[in-house]
Chains A and B, each alone.
Chain A
């Protein structure tokens, strides 16, 4: 399937295509534009590439993806794959090739050493260094548990989010530290996600919200839902939307959080909650989130990919696919208002999206039926005025 682009669009044609799609295409032409449209439109990915077992993937259930320069590491249900962008080929490691465990559920790369750290669902943690797997599990190391959902490299430490707490491995001093309810404000110990950036480690915990660990001070801070475990938000934007947290991402001093009951953004002072019924989030059931900037984050849900493309204007792009027909759409949305529906052709490999990572203008997305790459060309963050004939068309 490699090279099976959804549409033969180049970037130069994108604006025209988008304009046609919005104002001259599927959108009614007679409706007047609203004031919001003066804000401009976000970038919509219309060029997609798809990868399946036929292209060399060991398995199409993609749990993790990590871009590492010219390589893209892919964790699947049955093996590790590495896509070489220069050759367009996959290299695969399965258990028979030395991979310590078949299910690779998380990947991070140590920027200093180039070592690849793998979280394995039931198999612990592995360092993949220049072709050698070093296996760390709960029986041969200080790792707290072998069910690893997330992994993050922080300086010389590697953090693992496991089903029985978080583990921190000091790779220089060969020392393990376990964080559970005993030494962290962790009401539940089922750690789902972990990320590191800018001196802070965030743990997304299933049932315990988000924990922030300050690397410099060694202090913890917890973020839980002020509404308790209720599945509705009594007072909106008063905190994290729910304690059953699945993903965390911290970028440009902004924390992005996903839960099974919505998602949210935190700027250190204010929370902002997002729900399917009031924004472009395809579903409240979120598997993962990756922030691209303070204003942009990609939400992986069970019903498609939601991209908050411009936080200030609450502009979203929702990608959904009809995988059976190899077709798909992008819905540009401000709040509940769909301002554009763009026919992208085959975009996501599947609407059940599990992971995403950015690669310059591109993004790699792992789904339950394969890996896909959203190819961006000359993208501009946020919303820009892309089409002059703005008043000629109206959104749906």
Chain B
């Protein structure tokens, strides 16, 4: 027997850390507990004797947590959390809206259902080792077997303030005390006498009841119109549970019915499904406690609840499927409990489509966001990769109109053709694929899996190999075009971005957006990687010193050199120097065929050329056209003048003076031409008559007449004309209007909302104190507070006054702008984890690493203090507790030793690490920078254990 007075109940909260710690304790003892599901708990924790604990939970929001993810609001929240997938398929959402969603299949019992939302074991730990009456009678034994009793603070792991939820739901702040009272589920001190079992006249049925979960197999998710989740979130699903409420007892008493309503036949007739039928009428899968289920109205399902039957209406009818009518509702609702019932309104609600508009959630327009372009080899068509619309738009460059649009994969980024112009290849950055498109039929004929976040694509002149830049893993994948099989991966530098093939077809130059890792507080060193097309190997690596964000690249028709875009970020000087006009400078580089590199700026003293994104060279070789996505312009560079200037200069001038000279551009920039918003890619037609810029933030192309060197109109790609708040924020994010002399935009330091790999000195001291690593913006909205020192509680503060004081040095964003900017930053999609898909089994190394992450004992059996455990500061699903901790990393330049615990989602792609970026790899966090076990107890780990831990961290 349970000891009375002990609050054994299921103190439900989002304490996932509790679950992991419980499992860790059990694993340490050699047991591998698994999750049983709420029904296993309900076997005992139900009925009046146990305070109707199951029903209390069933009526709580925790039980509806999974179903809530089907709501339009959830989609909005997901959008503002940077979650590109369905909320019910997102590990991040499920981390708080379900139980054990991130576990492997073997860790869940057959009876476990993720659809049950936040269940008992979310807080009390997986139950297989303690959920027996024998164990549970002895609290100490139960605890020893993994039962956890969560503390109030554990709730905050999920119920912490999250920007995405606040902005969408507009609820009052979470009141922990109130919530704790609400979810209290004590066992009554006095055992209540059991009521007699409900009796009724037995009914008979031709078919058996199969239960709602059988229906849910098909009727869930977007394909099933979220039917299951809608039912689950509604009152029918709670019909049985409400009978446990005091009000139910009151109503029963008023009707002269004594006892527990959950045992009164008259109540159960309308509050459950199939009441009155003999036991033989129910399949094992049926659970009466699910309340009024599908079969209450549609009839017992054993004859029709199969996909093949349901696809044939006649067969389904034969199988017993009933079509409910208003009369069906009225059987229970008419005059029930003396309450009025509007059957038409109820019917409407029950059958209304679940769309964003009906939920009052503003739907987000589907923009195009054109990024890069390529002409077909015959020059007749211009193909434009559109990131937001998952499509390639085909444009007639002569008629300047859109011809067609082809759906490809997620975040199309670049496009190229084979030499014959028969096939096009589109890189899909979100999906890690390349779509192969048959040009004649304009159909995707194949989709090939490539490395992580493919960006640039290019086919060699012989049509032998396709080169794909796997941007986030620093590789160049080489595919055999005949077989479409990957033959090798070459090592690029960091974030390979664009490719250009030499006029003789022998070499490919690859620009790399991020600098190589350099020693702490030393200038950047970026690389142009050279690929020999005959052997498909890297033969040279040319270094552009002090430059970063090498993006667009194009060969001169002479084959003497190529031109690439670059930034020269002075991250070693205080950002307060901005007023001196020399913090982030922008320009181009000339990489000569022999590997020499010249750098010149395109900034003018009082107006800069922010975010140079792409470059093209006119077929006659006279001009290079460079886009500035931060200032909506194209710079027309007179190459003859530029090359002449360089050739006349001394080596000292070329190496030391020109790269930083703001006065030079007037000598070789012929003109600046206006474009649409945030031009990215640029391409010249083969005849050299016109150039086109892909204006990523207004879904147009700007046409440039190359003979007159003037803007000559636009091409509308057909995106929505309305500007949503997110789109407005996106435009602001990519615009340098907000900075002094238009030196840079938000995008400059956070390209694609991610990182530029640099460490900055952004404090106002001006003497180099507190340098900080640049952090990713992907998924940042829910990880308050912000800044490494955690001093900014909201994004608005981070991007508002603080930005103006420390970065932009002119007037801050207006409240409207700030709100839009916040929305956009929140919506920057975070790529899916490349090391583990949701539900995929862990590799053995990852599984061992998980045990290390969750461990509570050292290798020699010492208990690890709670504050030194990984899961304490990095609890799932965000893997940050949002608090500051001193992990022993205070450096000589730091004024503060406590830093915000960063989230660990996709941690593998945001090197370097620690607050000042001193650790280029995850390993170094512990092998070098944790000598005294202040950053968790790690020094007892063997090398293979540390490797395992890192393998697991990559899956988060």
- Interface-forming stretch among A15-23, A27-35, A111-119, A252-260? A111-119
Q: How far is the CA of A323 from the CA of B927 in the complex (A)?
A: 47
A129 in complex: contacting residue of B491, B923, B927, B951, CB < 8 Å: B491
B924 in complex: contacting residue of A139, A144, A172, A176, CB < 8 Å: A139
Residues of A near B489 (CB, < 8 A) are 113, 156, 171-172
Pair A140/B924 contact, Cβ less than 8 Å: yes
Most chain A beta carbons < 10 A, residue from B451, B473, B537, B950: B537
A interface footprint on B42-67 (CB within 8 Å = 1, 0 otherwise)? 00000000000000000000000000
- Interface-forming stretch among B440-448, B538-546, B770-778, B892-900? B538-546
Residues of B near A176 (CB, < 8 A) are 947
Contact A129:B947 (CB < 8 A) given known A114-B535, A139-B923: no
Residues of B219-269 whose CB lies within 8 A of A: none
Contact A129:B943 (CB < 8 A) given known A141-B921, A175-B951: no
Quick check: is A66 within 8 A (CB to CB) of the other chain? Answer: no
Pair B490/A113 contact, Cβ less than 8 Å: yes
Pair B927/A131 contact, Cβ less than 8 Å: no
Pair A174/B473 contact, Cβ less than 8 Å: yes
Residues of A near B355 (CB, < 8 A) are none
- Interface-forming stretch among A74-82, A177-185, A307-315, A386-394? A177-185
Contact A127:B943 (CB < 8 A) given known A114-B538, A141-B923, A172-B475: no
Quick check: is B279 within 8 A (CB to CB) of the other chain? Answer: no
Q: How far is the CA of A318 from the CA of B386 in the complex (A)?
A: 69
B interface footprint on A72-116 (CB within 8 Å = 1, 0 otherwise)? 000000000000000000000000000000000000000011110
Residues of B near A142 (CB, < 8 A) are 923, 943, 946-947, 950
Most chain A beta carbons < 10 A, residue from B491, B920, B927, B928: B491
Q: How far is the CA of A132 from the CA of B516 in the complex (A)?
A: 11
Residues of B near A156 (CB, < 8 A) are 489
Q: How far is the CA of A177 from the CA of B529 in the complex (A)?
A: 29
Pair B923/A144 contact, Cβ less than 8 Å: no
Pair B950/A129 contact, Cβ less than 8 Å: no
Pair B923/A127 contact, Cβ less than 8 Å: no
Main secondary structure of the interface of A (DSSP, over half): loop
Pair A139/B537 contact, Cβ less than 8 Å: no
> Shortest beta-carbon distance, B753 to chain A, in Å?
23
Of all chain B residues, the one with the shortest Cβ separation from A183 is B944
Of all chain A residues, the one with the shortest Cβ separation from B845 is A177
Q: How far is the CA of A114 from the CA of B534 in the complex (A)?
A: 13
Quick check: is B205 within 8 A (CB to CB) of the other chain? Answer: no
Quick check: is B579 within 8 A (CB to CB) of the other chain? Answer: no
Contact A144:B491 (CB < 8 A) given known A114-B537, A174-B473, A175-B951: no
Contact A131:B944 (CB < 8 A) given known A140-B927, A174-B473: no
Pair A129/B541 contact, Cβ less than 8 Å: yes
Residues of A325-384 whose CB lies within 8 A of B: none
Residues of A near B488 (CB, < 8 A) are 112-113
Pair B947/A115 contact, Cβ less than 8 Å: no
Residues of A near B946 (CB, < 8 A) are 142
Residues of A near B516 (CB, < 8 A) are 132
Of all chain B residues, the one with the shortest Cβ separation from A136 is B921
Most chain B beta carbons < 10 A, residue from A129, A156, A182: A129
Q: How far is the CA of A140 from the CA of B947 in the complex (A)?
A: 11
Contact A144:B473 (CB < 8 A) given known A114-B535, A139-B927: no
A178 in complex: contacting residue of B535, B540, B923, B944, CB < 8 Å: B944
Contact A144:B541 (CB < 8 A) given known A130-B530, A139-B924: no
Residues of B near A112 (CB, < 8 A) are 487-488
The size bracket of the interface on A is 20 to 34
Pair A115/B475 contact, Cβ less than 8 Å: no
Residues of A129-177 whose CB lies within 8 A of B: 129-132, 134, 138-142, 144-145, 156, 164, 171-172, 174-177
Contact A131:B491 (CB < 8 A) given known A138-B943, A140-B924, A141-B921: no
Pair A129/B944 contact, Cβ less than 8 Å: no
Contact A178:B947 (CB < 8 A) given known A141-B921, A141-B923: yes
Pair B943/A144 contact, Cβ less than 8 Å: yes
Pair B928/A139 contact, Cβ less than 8 Å: yes
B491 in complex: contacting residue of A113, A139, A140, A178, CB < 8 Å: A113
Pair A130/B944 contact, Cβ less than 8 Å: no
Residues of A near B950 (CB, < 8 A) are 142
Most chain B beta carbons < 10 A, residue from A142, A156, A177, A182: A142
B920 in complex: contacting residue of A127, A140, A171, CB < 8 Å: A140
Pair B944/A182 contact, Cβ less than 8 Å: yes
Pair A127/B491 contact, Cβ less than 8 Å: yes
Q: How far is the CA of A229 from the CA of B920 in the complex (A)?
A: 44
Residues of A near B924 (CB, < 8 A) are 139-140
Residues of B near A182 (CB, < 8 A) are 944
Residues of B902-942 whose CB lies within 8 A of A: 920-921, 923-924, 927-928
Residues of B near A140 (CB, < 8 A) are 920-921, 923-924, 927-928
Contact A178:B943 (CB < 8 A) given known A129-B491, A131-B541: yes
Pair A113/B537 contact, Cβ less than 8 Å: yes
Residues of B near A171 (CB, < 8 A) are 489, 491
> Shortest beta-carbon distance, B361 to chain A, in Å?
40
Residues of A near B493 (CB, < 8 A) are 132
Contact A113:B920 (CB < 8 A) given known A171-B489, A175-B951, A178-B944: no
Q: How far is the CA of A129 from the CA of B535 in the complex (A)?
A: 14
Q: How far is the CA of A141 from the CA of B920 in the complex (A)?
A: 10
> Shortest beta-carbon distance, B594 to chain A, in Å?
13
> Shortest beta-carbon distance, A123 to chain B, in Å?
15
Contact A180:B538 (CB < 8 A) given known A138-B927, A140-B921: no
> Shortest beta-carbon distance, A116 to chain B, in Å?
11
Residues of A266-294 whose CB lies within 8 A of B: none
Q: How far is the CA of A129 from the CA of B493 in the complex (A)?
A: 10
> Shortest beta-carbon distance, B379 to chain A, in Å?
34
Pair B490/A131 contact, Cβ less than 8 Å: no
Pair B540/A130 contact, Cβ less than 8 Å: yes
> Shortest beta-carbon distance, B623 to chain A, in Å?
31
Most chain A beta carbons < 10 A, residue from B530, B921, B943, B946: B943
A interface footprint on B390-433 (CB within 8 Å = 1, 0 otherwise)? 00000000000000000000000000000000000000000000
Most chain A beta carbons < 10 A, residue from B451, B516, B921: B921
Q: How far is the CA of A130 from the CA of B951 in the complex (A)?
A: 29
Residues of B457-509 whose CB lies within 8 A of A: 473, 475, 487-491, 493
> Shortest beta-carbon distance, A146 to chain B, in Å?
11
Residues of A near B947 (CB, < 8 A) are 142, 176-178
Residues of B near A139 (CB, < 8 A) are 923-924, 927-928
Residues of B942-956 whose CB lies within 8 A of A: 943-944, 946-947, 950-951
Most chain B beta carbons < 10 A, residue from A114, A130, A140: A130
Q: How far is the CA of A141 from the CA of B540 in the complex (A)?
A: 25
Q: How far is the CA of A178 from the CA of B377 in the complex (A)?
A: 49
Residues of A near B537 (CB, < 8 A) are 113-114
> Shortest beta-carbon distance, A259 to chain B, in Å?
27
Of all chain B residues, the one with the shortest Cβ separation from A174 is B473
Residues of A near B490 (CB, < 8 A) are 113
> Shortest beta-carbon distance, B390 to chain A, in Å?
27
Residues of A near B473 (CB, < 8 A) are 174
> Shortest beta-carbon distance, A160 to chain B, in Å?
13
Contact A115:B944 (CB < 8 A) given known A139-B928, A140-B923: no
Q: How far is the CA of A127 from the CA of B538 in the complex (A)?
A: 13
Q: How far is the CA of A140 from the CA of B487 in the complex (A)?
A: 29
Known contacts A113-B489, A115-B491; 11 further A-B pairs (Cβ under 8 A): A113-B537, A115-B538, A132-B527, A139-B927, A139-B928, A140-B923, A140-B924, A141-B921, A144-B943, A164-B943, A182-B944
A-B contacts, 17 of them at CB < 8 A, read A112-B488, A113-B491, A114-B538, A129-B491, A130-B539, A130-B541, A132-B516, A132-B527, A134-B491, A142-B923, A142-B946, A144-B943, A176-B947, A177-B947, A178-B944, A178-B947, A182-B944
The 4 closest A-B pairs by CB, nearest first: A114-B537, A139-B927, A112-B488, A142-B947
